[in-house]
Structure 1
Amino acid sequence: MDGLHLTADLRGCDPARAAMHDTAALRTLCVAAVDAAGLQPVGELFHRFPPPGGVTGVVLLAESHLAVHTWPELAAATLDVYVCNFGADNSGRAESLLSALVAAFDPQAVQRHAVQRGVPLAKGQP
């Protein structure tokens, strides 16, 4: 279960940026970023909400997932990257993917979090 879960809350994104409101643009951005990070997509789903709402997109990865949610009406987006490190350490790939998406949205402010998942329990714990 060893893995890395990264999140980023983006504020001050340009609401006119295509990826903020267009499913095809967000899909293109996400798939290209996943590919550039060296991760393996195995499925995807992107959904547009009625205006002034944004887009939600998920790319399922062999390593786990990428999820992006945009709110053009708030000039905001959230990013969620989770990778398992079962066969190899994918932490660098996860960091690369998150950084590429943050750069693409070019927010005025970013709040990031990282959680190590599946940390082994101390001896004697269930």
Structure 2
Amino acid sequence: MTDCRHRPAGLHLLADLHGVAPALLSDAARIDALLREAAQAAGARILHSHFHHFGAGCGVTGVLLLAESHISIHTWPEDGFAAADIFMCGSAQPERALELIEQALQPASRMVKTIERGRL
């Protein structure tokens, strides 16, 4: 029998981070490590990750698959912009993941949309 401990109710954070130093947005290994640290800080369990760098001067796209759902990021160093998508259910705390990401990237401005998922 499958263990289905997590209920669908959770928070989905969509974060637009502007004014980020380009050097912080172009290193796939560094961004992978950052998202892993963010997932752990949120109390999430990492299942798999995949990150892709688009070449010199270009950005990164990546995703962490979590038992609680996912964290993804897309970066545009040429524009100093990162878009992060954090959805976690169960007892995981996506706000903590976003706090850690913001501390590392130090955006000049941010816009975050919070969506409650799976609640009636």
TM-score (norm 2): 0.88
- 1:123 equivalent in structure 2: none
Q: Root-mean-square deviation (CA), in Å? A: 1.1
Match of 2:12 among 5, 9, 17: 5
Q: Does 1:53 align with 2:26?
A: no
- 1:84 equivalent in structure 2: 89
Match of 2:71 among 66, 69, 85: 66
Secondary structure in structure 1 of the residue aligned to 2:64: strand
Secondary structure in structure 1 of the residue aligned to 2:37: helix
Letter in 2 for 1:71: W
1:9-46 deviation line (CA, Å, top 9, x unaligned)? 010000022xx111111111111221122210001100
Shift of 1:101: 0.4
- 1:24 equivalent in structure 2: 29
- 1:101 equivalent in structure 2: 101
Question: Whole-Å Cα distance in 2 between the matches of residues 119 and 32 of structure 1?
Answer: 28
1:78-103 deviation line (CA, Å, top 9, x unaligned)? 11100123xxx33xx11100111011
Match of 2:44 among 30, 35, 39: 39
Question: Whole-Å Cα distance in 1 between the matches of residues 87 and 42 of structure 2?
Answer: 13
Greater Rg by CA: 1
Question: Whole-Å Cα distance in 1 between the matches of residues 30 and 112 of structure 2?
Answer: 24
Question: Whole-Å Cα distance in 1 between the matches of residues 38 and 87 of structure 2?
Answer: 14
Moved more, 38-47 or 49-58: 49-58
Q: Percent identity between the aligned chains?
A: 40
Number of residue pairs the alignment of both structures matches: 113
Question: Whole-Å Cα distance in 1 between the matches of residues 21 and 10 of structure 2?
Answer: 32
Structure 1 gaps, min length 5:
121-126
Question: Whole-Å Cα distance in 2 between the matches of residues 95 and 27 of structure 1?
Answer: 18
Letter in 2 for 1:77: A
